[in-house]
Amino acid sequence: MNTKNILIKKIENLPEPMAAEVLDFVRFLEYKKWDGLETYIQSESSLKKEWLTPAEDEAWKDL
């Protein structure tokens, strides 16, 4: 089994708040590889659509 498959299996068994933390970490890793702040700013409007959702609010409500 490759690394991605192992991660998927482990993530599937996590409670929602912990899965939200994993998602946050993945976003952090993606951010690190971006070309810097300019790329982040250009992407912000698209990311807001995903971040500012009731599902995200629910996932983070207990943290």
pTM metric for this prediction: 0.49
Q: How confident is the model at residue 59 (pLDDT cuts 50, 70, 90)?
A: confident
Domain membership flag for residue 23: yes
pLDDT tens digits along 14-37: 999 999 999 999 988 887 776 666
Structural domain count, the chain: 1
Q: Got the DSSP string for 15-60?
A: -HHHHHHHHHHHHHHHHHHSSSHHHHHHHHHHHHHHHSSHHHHHHH
Residue 59: Cβ within 10 Å count: 19
Domain membership flag for residue 8: no
Selected residue with higher pLDDT from 18 and 38: 18
pLDDT at res. 34: 65
Classified as helix, coil or strand, 2 is coil
Domain coverage including residue 45: 15-60
pLDDT at res. 35: 62
